[in-house]
Amino acid sequence: MKKCIIFAVMFAFICVVPSVFAGDIQKVRIGTEGAYPPFNYIDKNGKVAGFDIDIAKALCKAAGIKYEFVIQDWDGIIPGLIAKKYDCIIASMSITPERKKKVDFTEKYYQTPVRCVAKADSALKYFLDGIKDKTVGVQRGVVAANLVRAKFGDEVKVKAYATQDEANMDLASGRSDLVCADSVILQTGFLDKKEGNGFQFIGPSFSDAKYLGEGIGIAVRKGDDNLRKLFNKAIDEIRNNGEYKRINNQYFDFDVYGD
């Protein structure tokens, strides 16, 4: 009888252990921007939503941990992590050498190229033709800004904005000549909307790792290897069990994970 009870207890324990063992981690506070649709944004009910958010929820479920989202402006998102306002950042943050000096990253959970948008009837049919002295809008502190400044900074006037929406609005109103950003952000957040009528992608897609990093990862504080490894295992878990694909297909008609 005692053996049966012991076996039953052991079986129950095995059943409740999550597919990715969380160890001492019970809950994480997740820093995100909430101003980068379709990856993260505030919905009509005032709640944070988007691809980043659904991936974060799936990762926490796979890891067997609870979660809480903390909204933070992009300019202060890494300082907020270092100051322990939250435990990680899941906000479409590119893995770059500069950021690695301040925080640690998981493996990537998606990767998309940078592109540029201008008026369809402008002279900017190709990115390098007629770009000299033009005003290029970028979101402040993102990798697209690094690329534009590095490749074309001497030829153009770079205008930085707090959010991508602000950059898009200035393009639509004629206060800038083109905008450079993540291609998905420009497609879904501008070209597919009313204000994007009459605009189009120009020039090539950019994926230079030197400027754009190694894909989008989850940032954790320096030395927080337990949380970083936990998320890495969870990324592998949802990629293998089909959950990643299910979430991907809710937002995109292509594989956003990239090569």
Q: What is the chain's mean pLDDT, rounded?
A: 90
Q: In this structure, what token pair is assigned to residue 243?
A: 């959950």
Longest dimension (CA), the chain: 85
pLDDT the model gives residue 177: 93
pLDDT the model gives residue 12: 38
pLDDT the model gives residue 124: 75
Q: b/e for 124-145, b at 16 or more Cβ within 10 A?
A: beebeeebeebbbbbbeebbbb
Q: What are 140-182's pLDDT values in tens digits?
A: 999 999 999 998 888 899 999 999 999 999 999 999 999 999 9
pLDDT the model gives residue 127: 63
Report the 10 Å Cβ neighbour count for 49: 18
pLDDT the model gives residue 22: 57
Q: What are 119-139's pLDDT values in tens digits?
A: 998 877 666 667 889 999 999
Domains annotated for the chain, with CATH where assigned, are 2-111+214-251 (3.40.190.10), 114-212 (3.40.190.10)
Q: What are 45-63's pLDDT values in tens digits?
A: 999 999 999 999 999 999 9
Residues 195-201: what's their mean pLDDT?
A: 95
pLDDT the model gives residue 121: 84
Q: What residue type is 127 in one-letter code?
A: F
Taking the C-alpha atoms of residue 51 and residue 69, their distance in angstroms, rounded to an integer, is 14
pLDDT the model gives residue 100: 97
pLDDT the model gives residue 17: 41
Residues 107-117: what's their mean pLDDT?
A: 96
CA atoms within 13 A on the CB side of 246: 8
pTM: 0.83
Residues 27-45: what's their mean pLDDT?
A: 97
Place of tokens 């970083």: 228
Residues 77-81: what's their mean pLDDT?
A: 98
Least confident of 10-14, 76-80, 94-98, 163-167: 10-14
Is residue 34 over pLDDT 80? Answer: yes
